[in-house]
Amino acid sequence: MADPTSTPDDTPAVVLDNVSKSFGDHTVLDGVSLTIQRGSIAVMLGPSGTGKSVLLRCLVGLLQPDRGRVLVFGEDVAALDEKRAADRKRLFAIRRRFGMLFQDGALFDDMTVFDNVAFPMRLHTQLSEQAIHEKVSDRLARVGVAHAEQKFPSELSGGMRKRVAFARAIAIDPDIVLCDEPSSGLDPVMSATLDELILELHRTLGMTFIIISHDTAEARKVADTIGMLANGKLVTFGPAEQVFAENHPALEQFFTRATVGPIKVV
Amino acid sequence: MDKLLRSLHTLGALVMFIGQVARSAVTPPVYLGETLRMMNVLAKRCVIPVSLAVAPVGAVISLQGISIFKLFGAERMLSSFLGTAIFREYSPALASVMVAAQAGSSIAARIGTMKVRGQIDALAVMSVDPVRYVVVPGVLACVIVAPLLSVLTNLLGVFSGWVFAVPIGGIDHGAFMEHLTAQITPADLWIGLGKCSLFGLGVGLIAGYLGLNVGKGAADVGKAANDTVVSTIVLILLVDYAVSMALLGAGL
């Protein structure tokens, strides 16, 4: 989408520079640095509780890291304080370039499925209701919930809610789509359908995807960049083929579902 | 000492929150559609409980009043007392207490649930200020709906008082109406409505604050709703007393 924050094409979508975040004594991110190029699909793997969701939240300024820079299209999100009016304006301008699929969907309970997906369009675009209707129908058809337009989230299964939430995340063709465990709660067929949709959106609209996942099959299918977080540290990160070839012990443990290895069950 | 510091911190946060709400209410974007929707929801939720709370009060005032006014041979003047008590005191206070119980708890529970389920974060990620979109409409709805409900309860309170004074109590209808209209001034009406708006403001702000600052689980949402009801009812009764004293002192 057209946006005043547009930057030259060679600026990476996301750069994390030595980002650390702790909650009390618990260090969740410990000096994480990485670069995600625009137009790529980055999958971040890692066991539960290793800060993957915290990382996503830092990207959109929902959390402030204790240390480090979070550059989104070259602008440091970590330096913006949402409580200050001028910073909030900047932050909101940056956030308009994101779509986010939350782990539990986070659909609005008092809106129908249609209104949930139309919500960002009505707020951030000048589209007519007719155009919004067509676009929402298209998005819902793509995720296979066209029949549920007039239902409320409470009437849907967990998997359907997730798909509607994905339709909302891609509603206004964002530059970057953040997905927090997109395949959890989905059956394997729907999970594969969602993967294909991600690949299609990536191919046709050039969207950048940053996906947090436990699903190794999904990582193999869609990722062109793979990272692995364990114990707050980025243990490996790079082009998918290279990371697979490198066969880092933590990654191998993850892929082979082994209980013994560098990842400790706490 | 720790407790004192925590209380001061909460008070400071509440003051900052009120400032943020005030700023958001008067600067664009104002979500008018959401405000109207909240007004509709709150009015529907409150109208029956508020009516049920105030109607018996008019009846009780007449019932008890007649026997006392009879001692002075002044039962024809019962409606003066009934009107003043309903318009200035019972209707605003009871309507507001029921708004606190129904609207306050539902706003706190709604915002708290949105927070716990990540919907507040989802709004923020979609570049929507949650205070503007969720809190301000609730506050405005309370400020507008509470006095509207009070108009209804004024009528209901006086009507139920009339039932027990005229058909049942045997007071002449003409005398009842004459003393009622002679005693109640536009000031009584406006003071009652003004108090309702003020109490509605308090309910909306406290519900919004406690809802947005809810803990992490479903039990915390229940607690936020409960705390909203208790704290706003206590606040309403205290402020009502202070306002009545101040107005009487000022000769109003």
ipTM of the complex: 0.88
Per the CB < 8 A criterion, the answer to whether A36 and A14 are in contact is yes
Chain B positions touching A93 (Cβ under 8 A) are: 127
Locate the chain A residue with the closest alpha carbon to B113. A109
Interface test with chain B among A87, A100, A170, by most B beta carbons within 10 Å: A100
Q: Is residue B246 part of a domain?
A: no
CB atoms A60 and B125 under 8 Å: yes
CA–CA separation, A29 vs A189, rounded Å?
Answer: 33
Locate B199 and state its tokens: 């109490």
CB atoms A82 and B127 under 8 Å: no
Q: Is residue B250 part of a domain?
A: no
Q: What single-letter amino acid sits at A156?
A: L
Closest CA–CA distance from residue A259 to any residue of chain B (Å): 31
Q: What count of other Cβ atoms lies within 10 Å of the Cβ of residue B222?
A: 15
Count how many pairs of residues, chain A against chain B, have C-beta atoms within 8 Å. Answer: 47
Dump pLDDT digits (tens) for A192-203: 888 988 998 888
On the 0-12 / 13-18 / 19+ scale of CB atoms within 10 A, A152 is: middle
Of B117, B126, B129, the CB nearest to A120: B126
Chain B positions touching A107 (Cβ under 8 A) are: 119, 122
Q: In sequence order, what are the residues at sequence separation of 6 or more whose Cβ sits closer than 8 angstroms to the Cβ of residue A240?
A: A43, A219, A220, A223, A224, A225, A226
Q: Is residue B17 part of a domain?
A: no
Chain B positions touching A104 (Cβ under 8 A) are: 117-118
Locate B110 and state its tokens: 């709604």
Of B195, B203, B212, the C-alpha closest to B233 is: B203
Per the CB < 8 A criterion, the answer to whether A121 and A170 are in contact is no
Closest CA–CA distance from residue A107 to any residue of chain B (Å): 7
Range of the domain at B95: 31-241
Q: Is residue B166 part of a domain?
A: yes
CB atoms B127 and A108 under 8 Å: no
- The region of weakest confidence among A138-152, B1-15, B215-229 is B1-15
Per the CB < 8 A criterion, the answer to whether A228 and A23 are in contact is no
Dump pLDDT digits (tens) for B97-150: 989 999 999 999 999 999 999 999 999 999 999 999 999 999 999 999 999 999
Q: Is residue B22 part of a domain?
A: no
Q: Is residue B249 part of a domain?
A: no
Given a cut of 50, whether residue A111 has pLDDT beyond it is yes
Number of domains chain B is built from: 1
pLDDT category at B38 given cuts 50, 70, 90 is very high
Q: Is residue B220 part of a domain?
A: yes
Given a cut of 90, whether residue B155 has pLDDT beyond it is yes
Per the CB < 8 A criterion, the answer to whether A190 and A112 are in contact is no
What are the contacts of B27-32 at 24+ separation with CB within 8 A? B29/B132, B30/B132, B30/B136, B31/B132, B31/B133, B31/B136, B31/B137
CB atoms B127 and A96 under 8 Å: yes
Residue with tokens 């980055």: A42
Locate the chain B residue with the closest alpha carbon to A62. B121
Closest CA–CA distance from residue B226 to any residue of chain A (Å): 21
Q: Is residue B2 part of a domain?
A: no
Locate B138 and state its tokens: 């609730």
Dump pLDDT digits (tens) for A59-109: 999 999 999 999 999 999 999 988 888 898 899 999 999 999 998 899 999
Chain A positions touching B113 (Cβ under 8 A) are: 109
Chain B positions touching A123 (Cβ under 8 A) are: 126-128
CA–CA separation, B138 vs B170, rounded Å?
Answer: 45
Interface test with chain B among A3, A53, A88, A92, by most B beta carbons within 10 Å: A92
CB atoms A62 and B127 under 8 Å: no
